[in-house]
Amino acid sequence: MAYKAPGKHFREGLSTRQFFQRFPDDKTAEAWFIKQRWPEAVCCPYCGVTNVQIGCKHKTMPFRCREKECGKHFSIKTGTFMQSSKIGYQNWLYAFYLFATNLKSVSSMKLHRELGITQKSAWHMAHRIRQAWNLDPEQRFWGPVEVDETWFGGKRKNMPKKKRSQLEGHGPVGKTAVVGVKDRKANRVSAQVVEDTTKETLQGFVQDRIDPDAAVYTDDSSSYASLDNHESVRHSQLEYVRGSVHTNGVESLWSMLKRAYTGTFHQLSERHLHRYVGEFVGRHNMRELGTLAQMSLVADRAIGQRLRYQDLVS
């Protein structure tokens, strides 16, 4: 029986010991993946029919479509971000578990040590899992919403002298901006890496995601000044809360991500920053679900989410 997480007693947690009791080997993990993808009957991912031969002697693909026009072999990995991976099913499922149970995420070095695979494979695996977490909420936010932006990048004092001299000015020079919005009522967030924090960019992000009648709360940045139904707190004057007007909720997302930056990853490249931001957005939006439910959702989202290693490094 799953334990009750003390922070959210309604969530169905799963301890590490319980995980390995439930999934002791690749066979049980594979059966779970099959049940998640095809709860009724195994279905050919190429042509969609259920006329499938099960238990083929193929080394890695136990299923074959019996339709004459198709006839292809496939496995549960086919058509998902696990396709072409030699990593075992138990390792994949344990990685899902680690991502679901570590609020500050999992580094590739942690996966490398836990799963007994190379750091290169672990890094690719982690980004493929982030591909499933990194799905922006489809529905619009009805509000009230909080909007805020933040910056990611190395500290100036830690940069080589040559690089510091190339960065003129102060504050976020040489860093990457991220803007986020939180719907207080639905407790859902959305965030995006942006090229700048101009009025056009930030207001465009907000208007794409919220209902026109939603109340909007921000800080006193001039980029938000002309938004409809807008109120702000004056951070420049040390005002952080005025009644219901504040941005503390969306700032908690930045707090969690920056703790992961410092304590888990230690460095985030600008090129892949959007993947990490998407992961933390996804983790927040499914935080009410139990551990197995989160793992199931990631397995569902794995379908059609191919991400090749060369696409990450090219």
pLDDT tens by residue, 27-68: 999 999 999 999 999 999 999 899 999 988 888 899 999 998
pLDDT confidence bin for 175, thresholds 50/70/90: confident
Cα–Cα distance for residue pair 217/184, rounded to 1 Å: 11
Region 84-99 average pLDDT: 95
Residues 6+ apart with CB under 8 A from 1: none
pLDDT tens by residue, 188-245: 999 999 988 888 999 899 988 888 888 999 988 888 888 888 888 888 888 788 888 8
Contact 74, 49 (CB under 8 A): no
Structure tokens at 196: 């700048």
Q: Which amino acid is at 173?
A: V
Delineate the domains of the chain, giving CATH numbers in brackets.
38-78 (no CATH), 145-285 (3.30.420.10)
Q: Is 172 helix (H, G, I), strand (E, B) or coil?
A: coil
- pLDDT above 90 covers what percent of the chain? 51
Residues 6+ apart with CB under 8 A from 56: 62, 63, 64, 73
Contact 299, 36 (CB under 8 A): yes
Cα–Cα distance for residue pair 254/149, rounded to 1 Å: 9
User: What's 210's DSSP letter?
Assistant: B
H or E element at residue 150:
strand 145-152
Contact 291, 12 (CB under 8 A): yes
> Residues 55, 59, 64, CA angle at the centre, nearest 5°?
45
Q: Is 248 helix (H, G, I), strand (E, B) or coil?
A: helix
pLDDT at 167 over 70: no
Q: What is the pLDDT of residue 7?
A: 55
Question: Which backbone phi and psi does 150 adopt, to 5 degrees?
Answer: -145, 175
Q: Specify whether the backbone of 170 is left (phi greater than 0), alpha (psi in -120 to 50) or beta.
A: beta
pLDDT tens by residue, 53-62: 998 888 889 9
Structure tokens at 137: 């909420």
Cis check: omega of the bond before 24, within 30 degrees of 0: no
Question: Which backbone phi and psi does 166 adopt, to 5 degrees?
Answer: -80, -15
